[in-house]
Amino acid sequence: MSDERRAIAEVPIERRLPDVRWLVLEPDPGSGGWFLFGHRTLEEASEFDSWHLTRTEALLEAQAQWGVGQEDWRGEIESGAAPRSTPKGR
The domains of the chain are located at 7-72
> Percent of the chain scored above 90 by pLDDT?
76
- The predicted pLDDT at position 23 comes to 97
Q: Measured in Å, how far apart are the chain's first and last C-alpha atoms?
A: 28
Q: What is the pLDDT of residues 32-86, one digit of tens each?
A: 999 999 999 999 999 999 999 999 999 999 999 999 999 999 986 443 344 445 5
Please indicate whether residue 23 or residue 90 has the higher confidence score (pLDDT): 23
- Which sign, positive or negative, has the C-alpha torsion 70, 46, 84, 53? negative
In Å, what is the CA distance from 67 to each residue of 20, 34, 40, 54, 79?
Answer: 13, 18, 16, 19, 27
| Backbone phi and psi for residue 21, each to the nearest 5 degrees, phi listed first | -115, -30
